[in-house]
Amino acid sequence: MLDSAISAFVTLFVTIDPPGLAPLFLALTGGMTRAERLRVTTRSILLALAILLLFALAGTAILTMFGITIHAFRIAGGLLLFYIAFEMVFEKRQERHEKSAQRAATEDAIRHLAVFPLAIPLIAGPGAISATILLSDRFSDALGRSMLIAIIVAVLAITYLVFMLAERVDGLLGETGRMVLTRLLGVILAALAVQFVADGIFALLAAGAAAG
C-alpha cells in the first residue's frame, strides 16, 4: 500500500508540476501586491482541491453523465490556454489591467484569475483530472480513497508553498525582467496549449479508429 501511495503522489506531483507552474504564476499575477497574490493563490488552490476531490470520488460517473471524454476536455483547455498565451506575448493582458502605469487588481479580477487559468486548466487540468480518475480506480476502497484524498491535499499544499515562494522572486526581477519573463513564458504556454490540443485530437482520432 505504501508503494502505491508513493507512486500516486509522484504521479500527481509530476502531472501538476508545481515548480513548473511557479514562473507562470509570476507572469499571470505581475503587478499584484503580496496580499492580492495571497488571495489569488488561496482561491485557486481551494478551487483546484475541490475539483480534484470531486473527480477522485465521482470522476468516471461525471464524465459519463455528460458524455464528455478527457480528450475533448484537453482540447478545450488547450484552446483557452492559447488565448491567455497570446495576451501574455502581445501585452494585451497587461494593457487591459493597467491604470496609471500599474495594473488595478480588483476583487473580480482576482476571483477570475484564480478560477482561470490558474485553477483550471493549469493546476486541475486535463492531465491532473485524468490522473486522479485513474488513481481512483486503484484506490477504490474506503481506506484507499482516504489515502488518495490525503495525497491530493499534500500535492496542492506543496503547490501553495511554491506559489508563495515565487512571489518573493518577483521582487528580484524588476520591471524589465518581468516583461521579458512574461513574453518568454507566453511563448512556452502557447506551445503547451498546442500540445494539449494535439494530444487531444490524436487521442480522439485513435479512439475513433479503434471504435471503427
Residue-level pLDDT at 61: 82
Domain boundaries in the chain?
A: 2-211
Q: Which run of H or of E encompasses 1?
A: none
Measured torsion, CA atoms of residues 76, 82, 83, 85, in degrees rounded to the nearest 10: 150
Q: Quick check: 148 pLDDT over 70?
A: yes
Average pLDDT over residues 169-193: 77
Least confident span in 27-31, 106-110, 126-130: 106-110
Q: Which amino acid is at 158?
A: I
Confidence of residue 168 (pLDDT cuts 50, 70, 90): confident
Q: What is the pLDDT of residues 201-211, one digit of tens each?
A: 998 899 888 87
- The count of residues in the chain is 212
Short-list 46, 19, 58, 50, CA closest to 137:
58
| pLDDT (mean) for 147-154 | 96
pLDDT at 40: 93
103 pLDDT band (50/70/90 cuts)?
very low
Question: Do 115 and 44 touch, CB atoms closer than 8 A?
Answer: yes
156 or 17, which is more confident: 156
Q: Which of 69, 112, 72, 77 is nearest to 193 (CA)?
A: 77
pLDDT confidence of residue 145: 92
% of the chain residues with pLDDT over 70: 90
Instruction: Give the number of other CB atoms < 10 A from CB of residue 185.
Output: 20
- What pLDDT score does 100 carry? 30
Could you read off the pLDDT of 41-100 as tens digits, one per residue?
Answer: 999 999 999 999 999 998 878 878 888 887 887 788 788 778 878 877 886 654 544 443
Which helix or strand (DSSP H or E) is residue 90 part of? none
What average pLDDT does the chain have? 83
Mean pLDDT of 146-173: 89
Quote the pLDDT of residue 162. Answer: 92
Q: Measured between alpha carbons, how far is residue 123 from residues 15, 51, 77, 107, 117 in Å?
A: 9, 10, 12, 21, 8
pTM: 0.73
Per-residue pLDDT at 27: 84
Least confident among 48-57, 137-146, 150-159, 169-178 = 169-178
Residue among 117, 118, 183, 152 nearest 8 (CA): 152
DSSP state of 99: E
